[in-house]
Structures are given as C-alpha cells and as structure tokens.
C-alpha cells in the first residue's frame, strides 16, 4: 500500500511541471465546434460553421456591423450605368499561402471552372442565377487586374456573389481537367479532410496547421495574407486559432467556465449563470441584439388536390384561408410571454419577414400584439361562435381543431408550440401539437404537402431578396407550395393576388440598386406580409456570447458572430 501512495505522490510532484505548460495568455484563440469538418474543399462544402471564414476571402466582404460591402481581394468595383456590368479591380501583390501570386486568372478560374461548372454540384451555383430569367453571369478577364461580370438584368443581390471564396488555379486547374472514368472532374474528390493540411492553399488570414479527427483543428497565421494594420504590420495579430471538437454544448459550457475555451455562444438557459460569473471568470457577456433569422407559425393555405383528394381538409382549409381567422390567431398568441418565459427576457417580438437588424427591416409595422378580446371579436365577425363549453365552432358547427407540427429536438420551438397551444385554448381552439423528426417534417412540408400548421424558422442576413420563399414557385413558398419536380402534380391550386404582388415586388426589389428605393419596395412587401399573414412571425432571441477579457477589438455582432474581425483582434498581454 505504501508503494502505491509513493507512486501517487511522485506523480503529484510532477504536476508543477505541467504548470509551465499552461500558457494562460498564449497568443491564440480556443473555440469549440460541435463536429468535425466534412471537407476542406470550399466549393463542395455544405456545412455551417465551416473553416472557410478563416481560410478564404472573396473579392469583397460585407461588414456585419454596418451591412456595407467592403473591399477584400478586390480593391474596388464599378457598376455600369445600365447596371449590367460590374468590374472588379484586384489589389496589387496578392499572394496565396504558398507564396505564389494570386491573380485575375485565379478569380476567373474560380467562377467559371468551379462555381459555374455544371459538373461540380455546389451550394453557391443557384445563387448566381440572375433575377427572374435565371441566367448565369458571364465572367472574363479584362487585363492583369480587372475582371468583368456581365449580367442580363439588373440584380442587386449579385454583389453577394462577389463574397464567395476564391481558390487557387495553379493547384486545382489540373483537377478540373483530369476526369475520372465517369467523366467527372477529379476536383470532386480533392481536398477532403484526409488531405495533408499543408497541401490546402488559402488566401485568408489563417491556414491549416493541424487537424486531428474528433480532437481539434489548429489554424496558424497565413504569412502572405494581404491585410496590414495602420502601422504596416502584417495581420492577423493572433498567432493561432484552435477549434476543439466538443459534441455536447453542455460540455462546451463547462469547458468555457473552466477556462479551457476563450468564447462560447450563450443560450437563454445559461445567460444568468454566465452573467453572474463574469467577474470571477474574467470574461464579458456580449449582446449583439436580435439574432438574424425568423421564427414563425404558418398555416397550409394550399387549396390544391392530389389524385382528386384535397391536401388540406376543406373545412379546415376554409378557416386557414380566412384572413380574419389568421389575424385572430396572431392576436391570440402572447409573444411577450414567449420572450419572458422561453427566452428569459432575452429576445424581442418580430413583426416581418426581414431580420430586425437588416437595413431593410420596416420598423413602422407594429405586428400583432397579444389581444385575445380583439381575436374573439374577429372570429365572431367571421361567423365563428362558442358553444356552452367555451369551444370555438365555425358557422357550420365544426369544432375548431387543427394539428401543429415542428421539428423535434428544437427546445425553443417545442416550447413555443406548447405555449401557442395554451394561448389558443383560451380562444376555444384545440391544437394537437406534435414535434416530428426533422426528416418527417421536411417530407410533409416539401413532398406530401400534408400538414395543417407548423412552427419553423428561416436563417437571415441583411439581404432581403428571398426568391425561394416569395416567388410562387419557390422551394420554400411553403404556405402554398408547388409540388417538387418529379412529384405528382396538383390540381386546383389557387394563388392569391397578394402572393403575386409580393412576388412582383420581390423581382422589382432585386432589380433596384439604389438602397433607398430598394427599401421602399421591401417596405411594401413587409406591409403585405403583415397584412395577409402567410407567416405569423413570433419572437427572435438575442445573439449572446461570452468572451474572455484578454482580447482587444471584439465587436460581437448578430450577423458576423464574435470573431468576424479576427484579423484585427489581439491578445492584450501581447500588446
């Protein structure tokens, strides 16, 4: 026994050695990510978050605080008078992380041979389709520093496409030219996560240094990154960024509290705990305001039939398509209570389809504040009535009861559903609320179209153009969805005038490049959506994050996150 204690004692004596190894103020940032990256190929990646925000830059970038487009690899850009030609001028002396020059040829290669190559399936390609016609831009080299993008109709969101990562032609061109047996470019299999990290050539502030599966990804400074500070010092300031892979958010929280992580995003559940520990833990809780994106409840307004059978029970369809019924539901939901109970006060009601912080958000729209009396008044006006048990009936005596679905596992949406069920019970409406597995939910919303009401959310940004949602044939026009390509067709589907009006305004808004005029157009779309309620918007939480106090230059933003400006942030002790 004595020997065992002696061994333990020896091991304990060795611990002081470990203290030397713990550099509390190392010039690095340690963050947690939920899972391993699936690829190091920026074009093929479909995941978020991904490594490419650190490793690549596009021609221009959007400042997440101001929403203004700023130069990145491009020094400047000009839009022709007819708004159909955009010319980008590259910065001088740009280099890849292997020291080779980054040229106009790389840009043309990236757009024409990668993003616009039909043989390379990628998430970006569809966003390059211009306006209603869906044509692709023509991209060509003008001279050693200028690239021309030609489009067929004016299209304001097009500038977003200039933010996509530019990839190195000198490395990847051969992988496009070389084809496999089936005629597919070899590019489809290059730069997987098994590629040695030094082979991944980048142009962003950081390059990959080490990747250990299920453990960590280490990024180190790219010595050839173009950006310098005011004194001419090479940026970024921070030597390395470490992403540790932590599958459980609860474990991430513990790791942050133990000092192992430098920052963590905060859910409402953890806010008060972390706020209390701010001083002891030497960190600051940042509030970036309402998060981008929306949460909403929607009714299935689709009046179509498949194989002669209505998608929605005609009795219920009549309720859902009754505007005052939808308004009554909107008035019947207590969104303030959602803020207080579900978001613990850390959120705010949302009134329109555009994110609250977007410059296009229409602040004049007041939304539907909780008013059960008004809700009842509207219902009675439309011929609904109450029986002795206080249940709401329609004019033909049918009890108002419908199903409400959402994706299981999303605690916020599950809590919202439970509250909506409770709120609407006060109006005499019975809701059968059931969270479903996401796949089942998607099948209902996209394929079978067999659903009555749902709670979901969309992610958002500053750009208001969302043709997927607001074009009548859009993939996410879910309240009155057209069948997917290849699916059985519908008969008798009806599109309301206001749906068409919103679509027309969306086209118009996308073609208007002047911010003020564009905002006026989107103000109108928001007014229409608020009036006709295809989506009843609910509540948006705040974007919260805790960051150790050892960093200078943190500008936490709901859109960009905490370290969006990592190239300028520095560790205080390294000043």
Partner 1 sequence: MSKSLKYYLFARLLLAPLMIWTIITLVFLLLRATPGDPADAILGNRAPESAKSALREQLGLNQPLWLQYLIYLGQVLRFDLGSSLTSNGKSVWQIIGEHFPATAELAFYSMIIAVVIGVTIGILSASRPNTSVDVGGRLFGIITYSLPIFWVGMLLQLIFSVQLRLFPLGTRFPLDQTSPNPITGIYTLDSLLGGNLGQFSLSIYYLILPSFTLGILLSGIFERMVRVNLKQTLQADYVEAARARGIPERRILLAHALKNALIPVITVLGLTFASLLGGAVLTEVTFSWPGLGNRLYEAISVRDYPTVQGIMVFFGAIVVFASILIDLANAYVDPRIRY
- List of residues contacting partner 1 (CB under 8 A): 1, 4, 11, 14-15, 17-18, 21-23, 26, 28, 30, 32, 35-36, 38-39, 46-47, 121, 192-194, 212-216, 218, 240, 242, 244-248, 250-251, 254-255, 257-261, 437-440, 442, 475, 484, 486
Minimal distance, residue 240 CB to partner 1, in Å: 7
Q: Which DSSP string do the residues of 308-319 spell out, in sequence order?
A: TEESS-HHHHHH
- Please say which residue, 47 or 198, places its beta carbon nearer to partner 1: 47
Alpha-carbon distance of 249 to 265, in angstroms, equals 10
**Longest pairwise C-alpha distance within the chain:** 89
- Please say which residue, 117 or 398, places its beta carbon nearer to partner 1: 117
- Please say which residue, 207 or 326, places its beta carbon nearer to partner 1: 207
Minimal distance, residue 69 CB to partner 1, in Å: 27
Residue 462: which residues within 8 A CB-CB, separation 6 or more? 62, 67, 292, 355, 357, 358, 359, 360, 559
Identify which of 458, 537, 471 has the alpha carbon closest to the alpha carbon of residue 506. Answer: 471
Minimal distance, residue 558 CB to partner 1, in Å: 23
Pairing of strands 85-90, 74-79: antiparallel
- Please say which residue, 215 or 272, places its beta carbon nearer to partner 1: 215
Minimal distance, residue 518 CB to partner 1, in Å: 27
- Please say which residue, 3 or 309, places its beta carbon nearer to partner 1: 3
- Please say which residue, 190 or 356, places its beta carbon nearer to partner 1: 190
DSSP annotation of 560 reads T
Minimal distance, residue 215 CB to partner 1, in Å: 4
- Please say which residue, 458 or 498, places its beta carbon nearer to partner 1: 458
Residue 41: which residues within 8 A CB-CB, separation 6 or more? 187, 190, 191, 192
- Please say which residue, 6 or 212, places its beta carbon nearer to partner 1: 212
Minimal distance, residue 412 CB to partner 1, in Å: 18
Pairing of strands 305-306, 309-310: antiparallel
- Please say which residue, 242 or 420, places its beta carbon nearer to partner 1: 242
| Residue 405: other Cβ atoms inside 10 A | 22
The pair of structure tokens assigned to 399 is 């009890």
- Please say which residue, 49 or 372, places its beta carbon nearer to partner 1: 49
Cβ atoms 25, 238 nearer than 8 A: no
Strand, helix or coil for residue 100: coil
Residue 80: which residues within 8 A CB-CB, separation 6 or more? 86, 87
Alpha-carbon distance of 19 to 389, in angstroms, equals 71
Strand, helix or coil for residue 305: strand
Minimal distance, residue 285 CB to partner 1, in Å: 17
Minimal distance, residue 255 CB to partner 1, in Å: 5
Q: What is the 3-state secondary structure (H, E, C) of 371-435?
A: CHHHHHHHHHHCCCEECCCCCEECCCCCECEEEEEEECCCHHHHHHHHHHHHHHHCCCCEEEEEE
Minimal distance, residue 438 CB to partner 1, in Å: 6
Minimal distance, residue 461 CB to partner 1, in Å: 17
The pair of structure tokens assigned to 316 is 């219920």
Alpha-carbon distance of 503 to 490, in angstroms, equals 21
Alpha-carbon distance of 109 to 166, in angstroms, equals 9
Pairing of strands 294-299, 535-537: antiparallel
Minimal distance, residue 260 CB to partner 1, in Å: 5
Minimal distance, residue 257 CB to partner 1, in Å: 4
The pair of structure tokens assigned to 451 is 């659903």
Minimal distance, residue 239 CB to partner 1, in Å: 9
- Please say which residue, 192 or 492, places its beta carbon nearer to partner 1: 192
The pair of structure tokens assigned to 486 is 């290849």
- Please say which residue, 251 or 434, places its beta carbon nearer to partner 1: 251
Segment holding 148, helix H or strand E: strand 146-150
- Please say which residue, 234 or 240, places its beta carbon nearer to partner 1: 240
- Please say which residue, 21 or 389, places its beta carbon nearer to partner 1: 21
* Residue 256 CA, distance from chain mean position: 24
End-to-end CA distance of the chain: 52
Residue 407: which residues within 8 A CB-CB, separation 6 or more? 413, 435, 436, 437, 438, 441, 456
- Please say which residue, 80 or 215, places its beta carbon nearer to partner 1: 215
Minimal distance, residue 1 CB to partner 1, in Å: 8
Minimal distance, residue 348 CB to partner 1, in Å: 28
Cβ atoms 470, 522 nearer than 8 A: no
Residue for token pair 């809590």: 415
Cβ atoms 297, 362 nearer than 8 A: no
Tallying the residues shown for the chain, one arrives at 575
């Amino acid at each position: 026994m004595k020997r065992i204690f002696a061994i333990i004692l020896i091991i304990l004596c060795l611990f002081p050695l470990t203290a030397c190894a713990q550099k509390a103020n190392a010039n690095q940032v340690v963050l947690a990510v939920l899972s391993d990256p699936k690829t190091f190929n920026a074009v093929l990646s479909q995941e978020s978050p991904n490594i490419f925000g650190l490793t690549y830059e596009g021609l221009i970038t959007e400042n997440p605080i101001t929403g203004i487009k700023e130069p990145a690899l491009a020094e400047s850009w000009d839009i022709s008078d007819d708004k159909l030609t955009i010319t980008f001028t590259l910065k001088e002396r740009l280099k890849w992380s292997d020291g080779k020059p980054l040229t106009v040829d790389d840009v043309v290669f990236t757009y024409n041979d990668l993003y616009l190559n039909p043989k390379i399936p990628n998430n970006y390609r569809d966003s390059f389709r211009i306006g209603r016609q869906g044509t692709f831009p023509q991209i060509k080299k003008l001279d050693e520093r200028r690239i021309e993008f030609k489009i067929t109709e004016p299209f304001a969101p097009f500038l977003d496409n200039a933010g996509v990562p530019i990839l190195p032609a000198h490395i990847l061109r051969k992988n496009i030219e070389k084809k496999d047996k089936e005629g597919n470019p070899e590019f489809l299999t290059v730069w997987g996560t098994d590629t040695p990290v030094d082979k991944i050539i980048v142009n962003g502030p950081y390059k990959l240094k080490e990747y250990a599966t299920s453990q960590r990804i280490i990024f180190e400074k790219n010595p050839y990154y173009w950006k310098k500070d005011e004194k001419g010092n090479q940026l970024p300031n921070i030597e390395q960024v470490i992403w540790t892979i932590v599958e459980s958010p609860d474990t991430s929280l513990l790791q942050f509290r133990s000092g192992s992580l430098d920052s963590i995003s905060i859910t409402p559940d953890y806010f008060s705990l972390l706020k209390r520990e701010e001083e002891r833990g030497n960190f600051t809780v940042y509030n970036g305001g309402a998060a981008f994106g929306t949460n909403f409840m929607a009714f299935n307004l689709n009046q179509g039939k498949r194989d002669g059978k209505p998608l929605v029970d005609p009795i219920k369809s009549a309720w859902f398509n009754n505007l005052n019924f939808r308004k009554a539901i909107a008035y019947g939901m207590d969104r303030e209570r959602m803020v207080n109970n579900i978001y613990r006060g850390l959120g705010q009601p949302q009134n329109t389809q555009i994110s609250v912080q977007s410059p296009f958000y229409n602040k004049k729209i007041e939304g539907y504040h909780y008013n059960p009396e008004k809700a009842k008044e509207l219902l009675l006006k439309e011929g609904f009535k109450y029986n002795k048990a206080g249940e709401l009936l329609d004019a033909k005596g049918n009890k108002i009861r419908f199903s409400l679905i959402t994706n299981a596992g999303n605690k916020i949406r599950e809590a919202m559903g439970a509250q909506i069920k409770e709120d609407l019970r006060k109006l005499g409406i019975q809701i059968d609320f059931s969270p479903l597995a996401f796949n089942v939910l998607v099948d209902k919303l996209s394929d079978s179209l067999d659903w009555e009401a749902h709670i979901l959310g969309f992610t958002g940004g500053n750009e208001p153009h969302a043709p997927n949602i607001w074009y009548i044939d859009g993939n996410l026009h879910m309240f009155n969805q057209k069948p997917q390509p290849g699916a059985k067709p519908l008969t008798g589907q009806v599109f309301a005038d206001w749906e068409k009006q919103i679509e027309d305004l969306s086209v118009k808004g996308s073609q208007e490049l002047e911010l003020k005029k564009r905002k006026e157009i989107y103000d109108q779309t928001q007014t229409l959506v608020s009036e006709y309620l295809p989506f009843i918007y609910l509540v948006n939480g705040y974007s919260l994050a805790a960051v150790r106090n050892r960093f200078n230059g943190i500008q936490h933003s709901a859109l960009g996150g905490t370290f969006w400006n990592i190239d300028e942030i520095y560790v205080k002790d390294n000043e």
